[in-house]
Amino acid sequence: MDTYAQKQLHWQGLSLRRGGRLLFDRLDGQLAAGEMVHLTGPNGAGKTSFLRIVAGLAVADAGQVRLDDQRWPDRETGVPLCWLGHATGLLPTLSGRQNLQLAARITALQNRAAPDWPTQKDDLFAITSFIDQPVRQLSQGQLRRLALSRLLLSEPQAIWLLDEPDTALDAASRAALDQLLTRHCARGGRLIITRHAPPADFAPHRVLTLRGAG
């Protein structure tokens, strides 16, 4: 279970062209255990595309992402990945609780989502008050908090890829998120995050900048 702490996630020669524009070219880099990387760049620089490539959702025009020397993504390796894109990933016709239980099932983490989860002490984002309402009745902020609660279900040493996770969040939840990110890296997890307006005390280990086309 802890064996993947040793594994290096790295990418070489990544190039992507979108709509005729070259977004990034011959990108090399890696993400080691315990690292928090802040991905920055101007709007339209391809940050979301880059994250999707690392997540295995998209394929670059050239170059590869690898875990050690294995192809990535490879569902066989069982290295847990937590992806949080712009969309919440919550099915609108289910309740928050049903969605989270479904999410736990998908990542085969049933043991972590007991029927009465989250208990008060797990509830970092204060979702218990609306967790049983159908998702389509919730506000943007509530949806975002539910989506972030998925991170609480994650394996401790997972790879987290977060695209603007603090949109529509109130101050308390933002603080909780920062706490969670620090804790995750301290326990050997790793993450890449994009955020529009990081708080003053945001201290990533590294900053990766995409310059964008032109």
Partner 1 sequence: MFDYLANPTRFMRLADYTVWPLRLIAAAGLLIGSWLGLASSPADYQQGDAVRLMYVHVPSAWLALSSYLMLGLASLFFIVWRHPLADIAARAIAPAGAGFAFLTLVTGALWGAPIWGTWWVWDGRLTSMLVLFFFFIGYLALANGFDRPERGARPAAILAMVGVLNLPIVKFSVDWWNTLHQPASILRSGGMAIDSAMLWPLFTMFAGLQAFFLLMVIQRMRLLLGQARLARLADQQEAS
Partner 2 sequence: MRFFLTCLAADLRASLTEPGDILAQLGFFIMITALFVLAAGPESDRLALIGLAGLWMAALASMVPAFERLYEAEARSGWLDQLLVSPQPVWVFVLAKAAGYYISHAVPLLLASPLMMIWLTLPLALLPVVLASLGLGLAGLILLGALGAALTLGARRGAILAAILVLPLSVPLLIFGVLAGQAALSQAPVAPHLQLLAAAVLFLLVLMPLATGFALRTAAENG
Query: Does residue 48 belong to the site contacting partner 1 (CB under 8 A)?
Result: no
Query: Does residue 59 belong to the site contacting partner 1 (CB under 8 A)?
Result: yes
Strands 62-67 and 9-18 come out as antiparallel
- Judged by beta carbon, residue 27 or residue 100, the one nearer partner 2 is 100
What type of residue sits at position 151?
L
DSSP states along 2-38: GGGGSPPEEEEEEEEEETTEEEEEEEEEEE-TT-EEE
- Judged by beta carbon, residue 61 or residue 122, the one nearer partner 1 is 61
Sequence-ordered alpha helix ranges (H) in the chain: 47-55, 96-106, 140-152, 171-186
Q: Give least dist CB 91 to partner 1, A.
A: 24
Structure tokens at 128: 């218990």
d(CA 201, CA 194): 15
Q: Kindly identify the residues of this chain, within the stretch 184-213, that bind partner 1 according to CB under 8 A.
A: 213
- Judged by beta carbon, residue 59 or residue 108, the one nearer partner 1 is 59
- Judged by beta carbon, residue 42 or residue 78, the one nearer partner 2 is 78
78: partner contacted, choices partner 1, partner 2, none (Cβ within 5-8 A by kind):
partner 2
Structure tokens at 173: 């939840």
Q: How many Cβ atoms from other residues are within 10 Å of residue 176's Cβ?
A: 18
Query: Does residue 91 belong to the site contacting partner 2 (CB under 8 A)?
Result: yes
Query: For binding to partner 2 (CB under 8 A), which residues are involved?
Result: 55-59, 73, 75, 78, 81, 83, 85-94, 98, 102-103, 105-108, 134
Q: Which residues bind partner 1 (CB under 8 A)?
A: 19-22, 59, 213-214
